[in-house]
Chain A
């Protein structure tokens, strides 16, 4: 069965430091991977996606993520965190083969960037 795991409920990082939000997945076949962000009192926003090609994908607000097939991971990263990055981050995966094509969502990781 398809699944997504975000092993950390919360990540705390100091402003200016690099941040990583972890995501691992399990799908049959090659995955399509997505990161979304939910700012306080605002809707979910698309950040970036991996479909194929270069394993390092760049997205909005300076975020990037690296697809690692051997480790079945798609960790979200940013070289220098901002206080305004504090939000809830969701990883999602969809298989590109088989009968189950629904997007499967992680439970989210709350990122707190401290000034």
Chain B
């Protein structure tokens, strides 16, 4: 079946511009996660959606970052007034449930470059 998809695969933007990154999770997966992976670094948790519950936004690095999930499916991560330190690969993952035992399935990521 189809896996997690993300678009665009690459995004180059100028400092100060806003960007939107999209994630389509696996159908039927109720949990969705956004991470950031900088060069040579591990995964940095950003935000977590589980069903209709309020999202866990504790990993968002600043108020320039926001995310929404419409209809319990597609999610959009928005970065306003981008800065050079926002350059990274943004990964989306989904899992069958937010229950801790379920593994996460990752998309290919969006490589964001802020010039």
List the interface of chain A (C-beta within 8 A of B).
32, 34, 36, 42-46, 49, 51, 90, 94-96, 101-103, 105-108
- Is the CB–CB distance between B108 and A42 below 8 Å? yes
CB within 8 Å: A-B pair count: 43
Query: Of the candidates A32, A105, A106, which one forms a contact with B100 in the assembled complex, judged by CB atoms under 8 Å apart?
Result: A32
Chain B binding surface, main DSSP class? loop
6 smallest CB-CB distances across A and B, nearest first, come from: A107-B42, A44-B106, A46-B103, A105-B43, A43-B106, A43-B108
Query: Of the candidates A42, A90, A103, A106, which one forms a contact with B45 in the assembled complex, judged by CB atoms under 8 Å apart?
Result: A103
- Is the CB–CB distance between A103 and B42 below 8 Å? no
Which of chain A's residues have a CB closer than 8 A to the CB of B25? none
- Is the CB–CB distance between B101 and A32 below 8 Å? yes
- Is the CB–CB distance between A51 and B45 below 8 Å? no
- Is the CB–CB distance between B100 and A43 below 8 Å? no
Q: Given the known inter-chain contacts A43-B91, A43-B108, A43-B109, please indicate yes or no for A101 contacting B43, CB distance below 8 A.
A: no
| Besides A43-B106, A44-B106, A102-B58, 12 new A-B residue pairs in contact (Cβ under 8 A), listed by A number | A32-B100, A43-B91, A43-B108, A44-B43, A46-B103, A49-B103, A51-B101, A90-B43, A94-B100, A95-B100, A96-B100, A103-B104
